[in-house]
Amino acid sequence: MVFRCAIDAHWTLHFASDGVEALTGYRPDELEGNAVVSLEALIHPDDRASVREVIDEACRGVGRYRVKYRLQHRDGTDRWVLGRGAVVRDEQGERVLEGFIEDVTEQLTRQRLLADAELRYRSIFEDSVIGMFQTSIDGHYLAANRALADLYGYDSPEALIAGLSDIATRLYVDPTRREEFTTLIREHHRVADFESEVYRRDGSRIWIAENAHVVFGPDGQPLYYEGTVEDVTKQHGYRKQLEYQATHDPLTGLPNRNLLQDRLQQALRQAQRRGSRGALAFVDLDNFKFVNDSLGHGAGDRLLVEVARRLKASVRESDTVARYGGDEFVLILGDYEGLSDTLHILHRIQDVVGAPIALQGHQIHVNCSIGVSVFPDDGGDLEVLLRHADAAMHHAKTLGKGQFQFYTESLNVAARERLALDSALRQAIEQDGLHVVYQPKVGAHGQLYGFEALVRWDSEAFGSVSPARFIPLAEENGLIGHLTWFVLRHACHQAATWRAQGHGHLRVAVNISPSLFREKDLAALVQSVLDAAGLPPENLELEITEGMLMGDVQRALAVLKELKAMGVFIAIDDFGTGYSSLAYLKRFPIDILKVDRSFVMECDLGNEAVAITRAIVSLAHSLNLRVVAEGVETASQLAVLNALGCEEFQGYLFAKPLPGPEAAAFLDAAPAA
């Protein structure tokens, strides 16, 4: 709006351009000469005094003014305007005001919004609990907030900006970190979760994660970096811990298989680079199982820890000692300097491992068998080298305890066969390729008391495989559970059939491996098989070996009592070959003792076997146990055993283990018990 007005009491308008209507709602002709709706009357009452002051001042002095104020519209609303004017003389020579009035409402609103926003963002920056910063491209702080000052241990953001003059050298523990930061930001214009270890003001260290980006100027040049910083010391600690757990054996603290893989790759690369050789040694403790079984898992664990310590102490710092499995360790001996060097280390390992270890007041001796593969000659990766070292170790075991053996091609063939046997057994168990035979247990006059169920495997590839060969394999590869439940199901079913045919007194005996015996719910599992077959528990006998009673004694006792309470009979198999003591026999709820075949075989030869057998029988009788002699092959053995007081006999003299139908025929022909 362009205007001219008198310099009178109310600034009466002489002229107003059309623009006045948009500003005030009045047409020019309504205002011109109007002493009531004057320019002053149009000004917001609150602004009138200040406007007058400015204009009066101009009239008295320089003659020009510039002032912001509100105009009141006819409709009651306000407009912010910028008034600019000058004192001029009109045609009559009178002093008048002439000028422009411009609507600046929008402009002012925008400015106010901007100021509000600035205020709000400033408080987000200042009050945030996350550390925030702006730094120059060359590594100096431009701004930092309170949280960042706290994080780095400074009293205030100003103290931080002054104190941390050079980020690269004063902040990061690893001085190359700043360079990595700037490289990343140069390439991607931002960094995300950039983790570094930094010094706090007092010299302590924390881990931080930075998220930052470049701020560019209008000309596209980078102005500064800005971003956030979080303290991730705790998370970093957890992650380190998890990494450690994923790569180390919790019991011994040795590297586990995962880390072994890494270390071997390093050793292989090094050997390649230097054109040198290294050795991978697979170490297996020979009598660990015995310690575990006889002294319990706690003692077994302590033994492993001690062996781990000794192994580590007998190799160089640069070599790796890893725990591979239960009682198996793998050593990587880098920088192999010829055969004699390695032999020297292997002898040393056997000496230190074989030295007595004090456990629960006993001096325990453990031997180890070692298999060695040499890299890169015997293989280029962990799997092959381990397989070869494992094959060599198995061969060492067959040579007797405490031996070591280097891998040769012929061992590989044997190992492959073992693997093939393993997978064939797996298949046989899955596809019902096993069957059960029954060997009668009779009295001195041929009366039948029951049968022992024995598993048989006729393999397409391997022919008829002896249980003495595949049972230990099943124990090793974890198939023993499936195998036992298979035999137990068949045996119970068979016994239930015989029972239904009027032979309610027969007992069927099933072998239970020591490892299974440690299952928590063994008794419940047996009960469920009995229920499924509809067989009363008194028709079932479980044969366990003495070793089983020597492990975790409390657990063994608890499980046995549970089985006994169910009404199942318990027999100790192969008695006399293990480590049983009278004390154990007295504590356990056992019904039957089976004299091992090795004594039976010689009991009629007049040597010490008969004395031992006599002692076993009288011991058993003093504990009210029934005695079964197994492996009776001749009439003279039978005569001696009968005279000694054995109640039951089992062996080829009476019958070999028989398939179901033949066992039924035997049953029909036997005299009544």
Ligand X SMILES: Nc1nc2c(ncn2[C@@H]2O[C@@H]3COP(=O)(O)O[C@H]4[C@@H](O)[C@H](n5cnc6c(=O)[nH]c(N)nc65)O[C@@H]4COP(=O)(O)O[C@H]3[C@H]2O)c(=O)[nH]1
Q: List contacts with ligand X (CB under 6 A).
A: 439, 454-455, 466-468, 471, 484, 487, 511, 513, 573-574, 630-633, 650-652, 657
Residue whose CB is less far from ligand X, 210 or 574 = 574
Q: Which is nearer to ligand X, 342 or 650 (CB)?
A: 650
- Compute the least distance from the CB of residue 631 to ligand X, in Å: 4
Of the candidates 620, 623, 668, the residue with the CA atom closest to the CA atom of residue 648: 620
> DSSP 3-state assignment of 218?
coil
CB of 276 to ligand X, least distance (A): 47
Q: Please, what is the minimum distance in Å from the beta carbon of residue 670 to ligand X?
A: 17
Which of 72/513 has CB closer to ligand X?
Answer: 513
Residue 302 Cβ, how far from ligand X at the closest point, in Å?
29
Distant-in-sequence contacts of 214-221, Cβ < 8 A, 24+ apart: 214/185, 214/189, 214/190, 215/134
Nearer to ligand X, 267 or 542 (CB): 542
Cβ 438 vs Cβ 667: under 8 Å = no
Cβ distance to ligand X smaller for residue 386 or 488: 488
Nearer to ligand X, 350 or 484 (CB): 484
Q: Which one, 303 or 632, has the nearer CB to ligand X? A: 632
Fill in the amino acid letter for 381: D
Kindly write down the DSSP assignment for every residue of 31-98, as one continuous string: HTT-SSS-HHHHB-HHHHHHHHHHHHHHHHTTSEEEEEEEEEPTTS-EEEEEEEEEEEE-TTS-EEEE
CB of 480 to ligand X, least distance (A): 7
**Residue 633 Cβ, how far from ligand X at the closest point, in Å?**
4
Minimum CB separation from ligand X for residue 657, in Å?
5
Extract the tokens encoding 263: 């270390």
d(C-alpha 224, C-alpha 211), whole Å: 14
**36 phi/psi in degrees, rounded to 5:** -85, -60
Nearest CA to 562 out of 519, 501, 619 is that of: 519
Judged by beta carbon, residue 292 or residue 650, the one nearer ligand X is 650
Considering the complex, state which of residue 69 and residue 666 has its C-beta at the smaller distance from ligand X: 666
Instruction: Report the Cα–Cα distance between both ends of the chain, in Å, rounded.
Output: 131
Burial of residue 297 (CB within 10 Å: 0-12, 13-18, 19+) is middle
Cα distance between residue 340 and residue 199, in whole Å:
50
Residue whose C-beta lies closest to ligand X: 651
Alpha-helical (H) ranges within 431-466 are none
The amino acid present at 137, given as its one-letter code, is I
* Residue 398 C-beta: closest distance to ligand X, Å: 19
- Nearer of residues 403 and 484 to ligand X, judged by Cβ: 484
Please state, in angstroms and rounded to a whole number, the distance separating the CA atoms of residues 284 and 369. Answer: 5
Pick the closer one to ligand X by CB: 81 or 544.
Answer: 544
Q: Hey, is 498 helix, strand or coil?
A: helix
Q: Please report how close the Cβ of residue 410 comes to ligand X at its closest, in angstroms.
A: 28
* Least spacing, CB of residue 487 vs ligand X, in Å: 4
Closest separation in Å from C-beta 289 to ligand X: 15
570 DSSP 8-state letter: E
Residue 434 contacts by C-beta under 8 Å, 6 or more apart in sequence? 428, 455, 456, 457, 483, 486, 487
CB of 630 to ligand X, least distance (A): 6
User: Which of 248, 493 has the CB closer to ligand X?
Assistant: 493
**Cβ distance to ligand X smaller for residue 253 or 472:** 472
Nearer to ligand X, 255 or 631 (CB): 631
Hey, which bits of 401-503 come out as E strands? 404-406, 434-442, 448-459, 463-465
Host H or E run for residue 603:
none
Alpha carbon distance 557, 296 (integer Å): 13
Nearer to ligand X by C-beta: 319 or 574? 574
What is residue 191's three-state secondary structure? strand
DSSP 255: B
Q: How far is the CB of 605 from ligand X (least distance, A)?
A: 16
Q: Identify the residue whose tokens are 């007595």.
A: 356
Q: Tell me the β-bridge partners of 80.
A: 70
CA distances from 83 to 32, 87, 367 (A): 18, 13, 105
Question: What is the helix (H) or strand (E) element at residue 478, kind and residue range?
Answer: none
> And the tokens for 448?
């039948």
Q: Compute the least distance from the CB of residue 652 to ligand X, in Å.
A: 4
* Nearest to ligand X of 182, 515 (CB atom): 515
Q: Using CB atoms within 10 Å of the CB of residue 584, give its burial: 0 to 12 exposed, 13 to 18 middle, 19+ buried.
A: middle
Query: In 385-506, which ranges are E strands?
Result: 404-406, 434-442, 448-459, 463-465
CB of 433 to ligand X, least distance (A): 14
Element (H, E) at 432: none
Min dist. Cβ of residue 421 to ligand X (A):
16
- Residue 30, classed as helix, strand or coil, is helix
Give least dist CB 243 to ligand X, A. 41
With respect to ligand X, which residue has the nearer C-beta, 511 or 580? 511
d(C-alpha 301, C-alpha 308), whole Å: 11
